[in-house]
Amino acid sequence: MSALARVRGLVKAHGEPPGRLEILRGIDLELAAGSFTCVMGPSGSGKSTLLHLISGLDEPSAGTVELDGQDLARLSLGAKTLLRRRMVGYVFQFFNLLPNLSVRENVALPLAIAGRRDTAALAVVPALLERFGIAARAHALPHQLSGGEMQRTSIARASMP
């Protein structure tokens, strides 16, 4: 399998010496296409920071991050955004569902953002709702969902091709 993401010598630090705080130090890893990777650790250990760096939402203090073979440090903000939109599905801790959109509309949101409103693109939405067991809640608003339903909606949205 080829590497979709490659990290070498990754460092993320805040502040200046002598009070400099290293959040991550010397991280090397490869995430292969088709693989499943779990980032685990106690609260405050840098899990979210690592994911933000890999997805280009944050800049490393040192080291390199490649996503789909492209060095993120060499990309413009716009190019990073397009690459992230194409390559990264993000499930946020607090779901970030839009309160005035239904489950179906929240799941389809990445298509709308990408300007893909064609029938073929939208056809994948019902299949994702079924896959994640939320098809019966397709027209519900987020405030009408249980925590588990909100989480599955967020995961379905992150799975949108």
- Across the chain, mean pLDDT equals 90
Alpha carbon 144 to chain centroid, angstroms: 25
Fold of 3-87: Rossmann fold (3.40.50)
Helix orientation angle between 124-131 and 147-158, rounded to the nearest 10 degrees: 140
pLDDT attached to residue 1? 57
- The pTM of this model reads 0.67
Question: HEC states along the chain?
Answer: CCEEEEEEEEEEEECCCCCCEEEEEEEEEEEECCCCCCCCCCCCCCHHHHHHHHCCCCCCCEEEEEECCEEHHHCCHHHHHHHHHHHCCCCCCCCCCCCCCCHHHHHHHHHHHCCCCCHHHHCHHHHHHHHCCCHHHCCCCHHHCCHHHHHHHHHHHHCCC
pLDDT attached to residue 37? 84
Long-range contacts of 44-49 (CB under 8 A, 24+ apart): 46/12, 48/93, 49/12, 49/23, 49/24
Q: Which segments of the chain have a pLDDT < 70?
A: 1
pLDDT attached to residue 13? 94
Do 33 and 46 touch, CB atoms closer than 8 A? no
The CA-atom distances, in angstroms, between 155 and each of 29, 73, 98, 131 are 24, 28, 14, 11
pLDDT attached to residue 61? 95
Cα 110–Cα 141–Cα 143 angle in degrees, nearest 5: 115
pLDDT attached to residue 7? 97
Domain boundaries, the chain: 3-87, 103-158
Q: Tokens 């010496």 label which residue?
A: 17
